[in-house]
Amino acid sequence: KPVFFDTAFNFIGYEDGIEKE
Amino acid sequence: SLQELLEKLTVHAQNDEHTFVLDLANRLLRQDPTDIKAKRAKQVALIKLDRYSEALEVFGDDELKPSELALERAYCLYRLGKLEVAKDMTESAIRSGESSVTEHRGLLHLKAQIAYRLENFADAKETYDELSKGSYLVDGEDHDVVVNILAIQAQQR
Ligand SMILES: [K+]
């Protein structure tokens, strides 16, 4: 299976801003 | 106050802090079950802790407009494998035009991921093309989008 990133997760954060983990 | 502590904590919360945020939010909600900031923090903490069913239960259906926290709720449904419901919620939130720039972009990422999981590879590619035309908002987002487009191409072969 090809690598496929869960990029939507990075848009979920405590503020409307962004949290990248 | 606990409120101030919650706000301080949620600015740069990292992995191991989500449990603490959850605990704090629960303490605030025992004092005031209608505390929206505490509820919001609780929902995000539960998502970050991979507790999607509980995250969906933080807000009642009648508490939110369809587009409110749609990214968060649709993401939970997606992770729980409820792809068609997640797809409907994501697409109607995008259509509503009521999301912030960040939320809108997050919804497009989710839309592409749902299409990929449903093996609608052409739809997923189209959404990534749309994301590629906009401004990247997250570190590494451009790289991640390229990797996901390569995954689509591998699946289409
Ligand atoms: K958000």
pLDDT digits (tens, 9 = 90+) for A3-13: 999 999 999 98
CA B83 to chain centre: 14
The whole-angstrom separation of Cα B61 and Cα B57 is: 9
Per-domain residue ranges for chain B?
1-63, 67-157
Closest-CA residue to B107 (of B123, B85, B136, B87): B87
Residue pointed to by tokens 């994301």: B131
Record: contact A16-B102, CB cut-off 8 A: yes
Record: contact A4-B110, CB cut-off 8 A: no
Fold of the CATH domain B67-157: 1.25.40
CA distance A11 to chain B (A): 5
Kind and range of the H or E element at B92?
Answer: helix B83-96
DSSP per-residue letters across B42-83 = HHHHHHHTT-HHHHHHSS-GGGS-TTTTHHHHHHHHHHTT-H
Task: Give the ipTM.
Answer: 0.91
The yes-or-no verdict on residue A17 having pLDDT over 50 is no
Taking only the tens of pLDDT, chain B with its 157 residues reads 888 888 877 776 776 789 999 999 999 999 999 999 899 999 999 999 999 999 999 998 789 988 899 999 999 999 999 999 999 999 999 999 999 999 999 999 999 999 999 999 999 999 999 999 999 999 899 999 999 999 999 999 8
How much is the pLDDT for B62? 87
Mean pLDDT of A13-19: 59
Record: contact B148-A19, CB cut-off 8 A: no
